[in-house]
Structure 1
């Protein structure tokens, strides 16, 4: 009887150990599945972040290129405007020069007319008080 009790106890103990080992394996498998599912879920987010980062890098390169082209074009426009302003200034100088030349030519013309009248008709200068007829 005592030996049968010991045997029954050993059988029950072994059955409990087997059951405990089986449950331990199931728990480890469930934990591994949970861990893998969590890693996969996190990896999806990380993968999406990586894809977004690559897109942002590509957009940044494009933006940098476009900004450089825009800066170059702006510099060209500024150069053109500066050249245009210089040409306008030069045109203003030419206009002033032309007025000065015109004034000098009128003065010379008036002087020549006065000399001509004086040399050909001494009486015609009696009523004239200035050079020329335009008051200069």
Structure 2
């Protein structure tokens, strides 16, 4: 009888330990699945952020190029303005010289 009781107790202990271990293993698998899902989400978000960052960098590069072009246009306009002032000054001198040649000298008596 003791042998039968010992065998039954050992079997019950074995079942209890097996159930406990199986529950914990099941929890580990559930946690592993959750971690894998979160890892995929994180990977997707990282990929989206990398693409967005690349777009921002391209936008900033385009903006910098546009600013450089504006600076070039401003410089060109300043050079043109300076040249036009020189042309205007020359034309004024030519015009004054032409007026002085066509105006009769005033006689002083």
Tell me whether the two structures share a fold, i.e. TM-score over 0.5.
Answer: yes
Which runs of at least 4 in structure 1 moved beyond 4 Å after TM superposition?
A: none
Higher relative contact order (CA 8 A, sep 6+): 1
TM-score normalized with structure 2 length: 0.89
Can you list the C-alpha shifts for 1:18-49, whole angstroms capped at 9, x where unaligned?
A: xxxx3212211110110110111111111111
1:61 paired with 2:48, answer no
TM-score normalized with structure 1 length: 0.72
User: Which residue of 86, 94, 101 corresponds with 1:115?
Assistant: 94
Give the total of aligned pairs: 101
State the superposition RMSD in angstroms: 0.9
Larger Rg: 1
Which blocks of at least 5 consecutive residues in structure 2 are unaligned? 102-109
Which blocks of at least 5 consecutive residues in structure 1 are unaligned? 1-21, 123-136
